[in-house]
Amino acid sequence: MARWLAGRQWPVHPLAPGRKTPAANCEQCRTRSHEPSDCPCHARGLWCHGFHSATTELTRIAAWWGREPRAGVGVSCGPAHLVVLDVDAHAAHVPARDRLLPGIRIPEQVDLAGLASGFDTLALLAAYRQEPNPAEDETTLRVRTPSGGLHIWYVNSEPAVRYRSSTGSSPRTALAWQVDVRAHGGYVVAPTTRITAGVYAPLGAVREPAPLPAWLAAELRRTGHVIQASPVPGPRPQRQARPARPGGAQALLQSLVETVRECAGQTEGTGFTEKLNRAAYTAGGLAGAGHLNQAEARQELTEAAHYARPHQTRRSETIIDAALSAGASRPFHPKGLA
């Protein structure tokens, strides 16, 4: 499967056996803080940092899956020009109606009884636009996930327009509640990958992603998924460029957020929950003492958590909210801060 995908110029990377998370980083990348783009491991043929290591080189692919034949396959969506709608069917608390379809006001007279999952919000969005429901789109590759969700694969036939990944619960960029977008900065589990919970099973006979429908492209644009090209290609802005005083509360938050982000590409059991909990608790304490804006801190923590664990966003947000409010009830004044 990995070879077949790579043959289509879709870069692939190994997943941890039995899991949908990337294979573990090497020891150094587990302990050392650095940007994936600065990592020396890729040149050495290692698979560190999840989709950042994804490749179409057949010799490297043979070596990776030779070393770990039980590894599943992740596809890095951005360079493959893939846009995959990840429809969730998890039991979850249904949010207020203005959070179901961001940017669309659902009138009170619309009866939302029975709405329970991303299948419902996506169907609602399609109905609003008088377009066919993508979940029932038999012209494109659709993959049933072990948890009862659905991956709807499309290919972006205008790759000059790049779409960012998002989670359906993000307060900043989201298409619909319980519908994640996997595009640039994200990966998708390949069909036929088997994890402990079951197999990613293609539906019907179609094995090709169809072109992204124009109306969905317009919806992605409307909801802020288009990545604006930077006018001058130059060095990436440094994190230090943000208005943070060294040693200030913002700098402290940044270092905590970084410990969460660094869990990306590592398998479970590397202290992610503990790190997230500690970061959110401290941020809550700083916000409670007036050193930080709690909403902004929550946003940063949420984005870092989603980056590190894209498949457990609701769990992460539960942890963040609990720890933030626990921390806020114990205001925290670090030394050196007025």
Contact region with Zn ion (CB under 5 A), list: 2-10, 41-49, 86-94, 142-150: 41-49
Under 8 Å between Cβ of 142 and 77: no
Report if residue 29 touches Zn ion, rule: CB under 5 A: yes
Nearer to Zn ion, 40 or 159 (CB): 40
| Dist CA 15 CA 224 (whole Å) | 29
| Dist CA 185 CA 308 (whole Å) | 11
Report if residue 292 touches Zn ion, rule: CB under 5 A: no
Nearer to Zn ion, 39 or 195 (CB): 39
Report if residue 41 touches Zn ion, rule: CB under 5 A: yes
Report if residue 26 touches Zn ion, rule: CB under 5 A: yes
CB count in 10 Å sphere of residue 201: 14
Report if residue 39 touches Zn ion, rule: CB under 5 A: yes
Distant-in-sequence contacts of 89-94, Cβ < 8 A, 24+ apart: 89/116, 89/117, 89/118, 89/119, 89/147, 89/148, 89/149, 89/150, 89/178, 90/117, 90/147, 90/149, 90/178, 90/314, 91/116, 92/178, 92/314, 94/177
Contact region with Zn ion (CB under 5 A), list: 12-20, 39-47, 256-264, 273-281: 39-47
Burial of residue 161 (number of CB atoms within 10 Å: 0-12, 13-18, 19+): middle
Nearer to Zn ion, 60 or 97 (CB): 60
User: Least distance (Å) from Zn ion to the CB of residue 23?
Assistant: 11
Contact region with Zn ion (CB under 5 A), list: 18-26, 173-181, 290-298, 313-321: 18-26
What DSSP assignment string belongs to 75-129?
EEHHHHTEEEEEE---------GGGTSTT----TTS--TT--SHHHHHHHHHHHT
Contact region with Zn ion (CB under 5 A), list: 36-44, 180-188, 245-253, 270-278: 36-44
Under 8 Å between Cβ of 89 and 30: no
Report if residue 188 touches Zn ion, rule: CB under 5 A: no
Nearer to Zn ion, 47 or 65 (CB): 47
Q: How many residues bind Zn ion (CB under 5 A)?
A: 5
What DSSP assignment string belongs to 219-280?
HHHHTT-BPPPPSS--PPPPGGGSS--TTSHHHHHHHHHHHHHTTTT--SSSSHHHHHHHHH
Nearer to Zn ion, 48 or 195 (CB): 48
User: Least distance (Å) from Zn ion to the CB of residue 66?
Assistant: 19
Contact region with Zn ion (CB under 5 A), list: 25-33, 168-176, 180-188, 320-328: 25-33
Report if residue 308 touches Zn ion, rule: CB under 5 A: no
Nearer to Zn ion, 33 or 293 (CB): 33
Contact region with Zn ion (CB under 5 A), list: 37-45, 70-78, 113-121, 191-199: 37-45
Report if residue 48 touches Zn ion, rule: CB under 5 A: yes
Report if residue 42 touches Zn ion, rule: CB under 5 A: no
Residues found near Zn ion in the complex (CB under 5 A): 26, 29, 39, 41, 48
